[in-house]
Amino acid sequence: MRNILEDLFGSEPLDPVEAARRNMRPNLRKRFYQTAAAGEGPPYPLLLDRRAVKTPAGNTLAAPTFSLTQAIAAEWDAQGERIEPAGMPLTRLANTVIDGVAPDPEGVAHEIAQYLGSDLVCYRASTPEGLVVRQAQHWDPILAWAREEYGARFLLSEGVMFAAQPEGAICALRAAIPSDPWRLGAVSLITTLTGSALIALAVAAKRLSVDDAWAAAHVDENWNMDFWGRDELAMQRRAARLADMQAAGAVLACT
């Protein structure tokens, strides 16, 4: 079974978005099992026909909570005659956490912290007025949360001109990055998808819902679509990213 899963999901890279991209490939295997379920734990293994599943790196695919493994099992149960890895974002994230994040949590946390130095929500448009207002509506509450909860005051910059952030602000939010590999992996994925560690940490702290975080991350893109319309291929890629975002949200909700 390990060889089949390695064929399906490949060797999971550390970057969750790259993991998702690789697994969009149309290499569909025939379904080789009847039932998927959560086993006894903790940790709770994924069972296919009562047999434990291995990740691409050969580790047991098991989650820390029964509800999370149930959610992963539901992805497998929902497969049809052929297995579609692109429709299994929780499984992909689980593979990444177990094979990539758990062996090197400090490295992953460091990558998240680097985003704090040039976070999306700190870079504002100067015009048009409508976009300026939208950015403030979505992003100011996130900065207010960081200031009120952690005493972290991030500086704003107009356009793409780099603005160095106070070391104290970065250190304060660095301490908020979770140490648990599952929550860390979810925060890493949200950070990469949104370009904002502040958005990701606000979701982890339950100060932002996944939907609100998604909207905050796409203020500029939504503004442009209002004026120029939507590109279907771009919207398909965006839908795939949203599924990954929702998977990360599910991990945070279940751990």
Q: Residue 110 and residue 170: Cα distance in Å, rounded?
A: 11
* pLDDT tier for residue 19 given thresholds of 50, 70 and 90: low
Q: Do the Cβ atoms of 115 and 197 come closer than 8 Å?
A: yes
Q: Do the Cβ atoms of 157 and 163 come closer than 8 Å?
A: yes
Domain boundaries of the chain, sorted by first residue: 2-101, 105-254
At 161-174, the pLDDT tens digits run 888 999 999 999 99
Query: Is residue 17's pLDDT more than 80?
Result: no
Lookup: tokens for 21: 């991209």
Query: For the domain 105-254, what is the CATH superfamily, name and number?
Result: ATP12 ATPase (1.10.3580.10)
DSSP 103: T
What CATH number does the domain located at 2-101 have?
Answer: 3.30.2180.10
Lookup: tokens for 74: 């539901």
Mean pLDDT, residues 69-89 taken together? 96
Q: Residue 20 and residue 88: Cα distance in Å, rounded?
A: 10
Shortest CA distance to 99 belongs to which of 24, 167, 9?
9
At 93-146, the pLDDT tens digits run 999 999 999 999 999 999 999 999 999 999 999 999 999 999 999 999 999 999
Across-strand partners of 124? 158
